[in-house]
Amino acid sequence: MEQRFKIFIAYHTNDENIANLLSDYFQSMGIPKDFIYLCALPSNDGKINNIDEINAMIKCSCVNIPILSLKFLESVFCTNITGAFVFDENALLLPVMLPDITQNMIYGFLKDVYRVFKLDVSEDIAYIYDAVQGSLDIIPPSLTIATNAMNAFINKYTVTVSRITTKSSPTLISSNPAFEQIDVSTDDEMIVLYYILANQVLEVSKKTIEDWLIEEEIYDVDVENAFKLLATIGYARYHEGVLKIDIITFRKWAKMTDELLPVLTACVKNHRILSAEIFEDMWYNDELSTTLKLFTAYLIDEGTTVLGSKSSNSQQVQDIINWEDKNSLSHTVSNNYQKCLQVFEQNNLIYESDWSIYGVPRKYNLNASFINHIFSNDFPHRNELAELKVGARI
């Protein structure tokens, strides 16, 4: 029999980022890149030009990993290759599923026979690696390397899936009969509707929703569009920045809260990008320079959650200089304060919170999950930051 040494990862073309992350994780655990075969499969209207290559790779694979997602389950190409995996008695089948599907959306052999794994669960990742390592008979890395690799993968995966957002959720809606009774179809409407039902309010202002979106770190929502669309339902009105739902419509929605909220919650989750996860992703991808790490140390040491303007002569810069002098550090952070703010703002770690009469930002607030993360007793980089400060002393 032909030697089997390949890890065959099958995925829908939309999920290429996830497949690449999984491949990178295996490589960080000592598995050669040549042992990993990534197979991108199209939707039903697509075409495959490398059937012979795919067939050859299946014949030499020892582990088959289909990445199950909504697009994957809808594709005949994807379900066909999963069928080939099921009947391949000479290779392990380790299906994983992405957050856009649930267990009850998986049918056939995968539902009844095989365990389906999640890529944000450490026990599942450990099981998958142990199975792969055993099939390839390779030497595993040290516990420290394995733990760091797993944590890095889960952090990158979590951030990647949180950044995958859409402007409408037709599948979520179509799978819930309650939505047949209300006239809501876009994510913009669904997210505002979530707020209305969760808070049991008849009216809400545009500013209230915008402030809530910032506080909850929810992005890619057009509040103006949501209010205008919701105002067309029943006798609702949108006037001077306030949306008012008529009592009949509100009571109709309220009676269906238990049916609607799970779908609305999933929609909100699709648009939430937690700054704490972004920070961890930046850390493990080495996107934080020494200066940015020292800037983070300053925030933690001084308990700073609100930052001043970018001006080089601002009180904020003087506060950083005082911290640097107290810790016998050069003025690297204070001299680069504007760049630090720029990087943190670009990556949604902070947001503008106050402006001058000319519209120039005067204050920046740290995002909520970022605050909770860096000031937590479980913050994983506290010792490293302390060592960094000691090493940077002058």
Q: Residue 1 domain-assigned? A: no
Same domain, 205 and 155: no
Same domain, 256 and 189: yes
Cβ within 8 Å of residue 282, ≥6 positions away: 288, 347
Range of the domain at 266: 170-271
Residue that is written with structure tokens 């016998």 in the block: 328
Same domain, 29 and 142: yes
Give the per-residue pLDDT at 114.
Answer: 77
**CATH number, domain with residue 133:** 3.40.50.10140
Same domain, 266 and 290: no
Cβ within 8 Å of residue 208, ≥6 positions away: none
Residue that is written with structure tokens 């890395």 in the block: 141
Give the per-residue pLDDT at 113.
Answer: 65
Smallest Cα–Cα separation from 233: which of 186, 270, 169, 172?
Answer: 186
Q: Residue 342 domain-assigned? A: yes
Same domain, 192 and 251: yes
Report percent pLDDT > 70 for the chain: 91
Smallest Cα–Cα separation from 305: which of 249, 364, 255?
Answer: 364
Give the per-residue pLDDT at 43.
Answer: 86
Q: Rounded to whole angstroms, how far apart are CA atoms 144 and 161? A: 26
Q: Residue 209 domain-assigned? A: yes
Same domain, 266 and 224: yes
Give the per-residue pLDDT at 165.
Answer: 43
* Percent helix, strand and coil across the chain, each to the nearest 5: 55, 15, 30
Same domain, 382 and 300: yes
Walking along the chain (394 residues) 10 residues at a time, the average pLDDT comes out as 78 91 93 92 84 90 93 90 89 90 71 80 92 87 89 84 52 53 79 95 96 93 90 91 94 89 87 91 89 97 92 85 96 94 91 86 94 94 94 90
Same domain, 50 and 62: yes
pLDDT tens track for 274-283: 999 999 988 9
Final residue before a domain boundary, out of 226, 247, 271: 271
Give the per-residue pLDDT at 294.
Answer: 97
Token pair recorded at residue 321: 């200089």
Q: Rounded to whole angstroms, how far apart are CA atoms 270 and 6? A: 34
Same domain, 322 and 351: yes
Same domain, 158 and 244: no
Give the per-residue pLDDT at 174.
Answer: 45
Is-above-0.85 flag for pTM?
Answer: no
Q: Residue 187 domain-assigned? A: yes
Final residue before a domain boundary, out of 271, 297, 322: 271
Same domain, 286 and 255: no
The domain tally of the chain equals: 3
CB atoms within 10 A of CB 382: 14
Q: Rounded to whole angstroms, how far apart are CA atoms 152 and 281? A: 8
Same domain, 263 and 286: no
Final residue before a domain boundary, out of 123, 146, 162: 162
Give the per-residue pLDDT at 328.
Answer: 96
Lay out the sheet containing 361-366: strands in order across. Answer: 306-307, 361-366, 350-355
CA distances from 31 to 22, 71, 150, 199, 361 (A): 12, 28, 14, 50, 49
Give the per-residue pLDDT at 110.
Answer: 66
Q: Residue 240 domain-assigned? A: yes
pLDDT tens track for 213-245: 999 999 888 899 899 989 988 899 999 999 999
Give the per-residue pLDDT at 111.
Answer: 58
Smallest Cα–Cα separation from 272: which of 374, 191, 172?
Answer: 191
